[in-house]
Amino acid sequence: MRLKDKVAIVTGAGTGLGRAIALMFGREGAKVALTGRRPEPLEKVAAEIRQAGGTAIECAGDMLKAADVARLVDATLKTFGRLDILVNNAGGIAERGPVLALSEDGFRKTLDINVTSAFLCSKQALPELIRTQRQYRQHRLAGRAARSAQQRRLRRGQGRHGHPHQGHGGGLRSRRACGSTRSAPPISRRISIARCSTGSRRRASTRRW
């Protein structure tokens, strides 16, 4: 599952596209915090996620109210301990009709529903999203450094004890006890060496496998 153990907030999760996103996140293993203005649709979506084996909580609220947004993020952190994903899905149209018939107030409400709500949610969630991303990057860098150190130790140990190791040029190299380094022939070629009766070598004949 691509989102296994990730924690996601989905706004406008009670119906439509938000519901579909929340259900998909649940199927992919994410822990989902659902929000919207009406509690009943959120409860149904959360129940569907749990029935499918996922994890979800619901926290109804108005994403145009900073206090409700803060309560949503706090509930998510209190329940799951972290936040990885924010889906600003909440939106809508406050007033429909031809442009010439629309009121300025209706236009501003539409902007608030679609833009201001995303701003408030992002502003509240970003500190935690940044902290989680930094921890992820630090974990990846630490893992990469540990693997590099282990590979260096293996190369030094193999060279010291005379075992084959991979050289910088990509060809297989072997170290003899005397300390000299000789390039071994590519494995894709077979070299047969015949000796004359006098003991001198003929030229190596080569053929590809």
pLDDT tens-digit map of 193-209: 444 444 444 444 444 44
Residue 140 or 86, more confident? 86
pTM listed for this prediction: 0.66
Determine the pLDDT at residue 58: 97
pLDDT: which is higher, 40 or 201: 40
Phi, psi torsion values for 184, nearest 5 degrees: -80, 150
Closest-CA residue to 56 (of 65, 67, 48):
48
Average pLDDT over residues 68-74: 98
Using CA atoms, how far residue 55 sits from 31, 47, 95, 115, in Å, is 5, 9, 36, 29
Closest Cα to residue 74, out of 37, 14, 117, 128? 128
67 or 179, which is more confident: 67
C-alpha distances out from residue 167 to 49, 146, 151, Å: 52, 20, 12
Helix axes 117-160, 66-80, angle to 10 degrees: 30
Contact predicate 113/90, CB 8 Å: yes
pLDDT greater than 90 at residue 18: yes
Mean pLDDT of 110-128: 96
Residue 183 pLDDT exceeds 80: no
Kindly tell me if the per-residue pLDDT of 150 is higher than 80: no
What local confidence, expressed as pLDDT, does residue 6 receive?
96
Q: Which among 104, 150, 122 has a CA at the least distance from the CA of 63?
A: 122
Write out the CATH class of domain 7-141. Answer: alpha beta
Residue 37: its pLDDT value, please? 96
Whether the CB-CB separation of 66 and 124 falls below 8 Å is answered with: yes
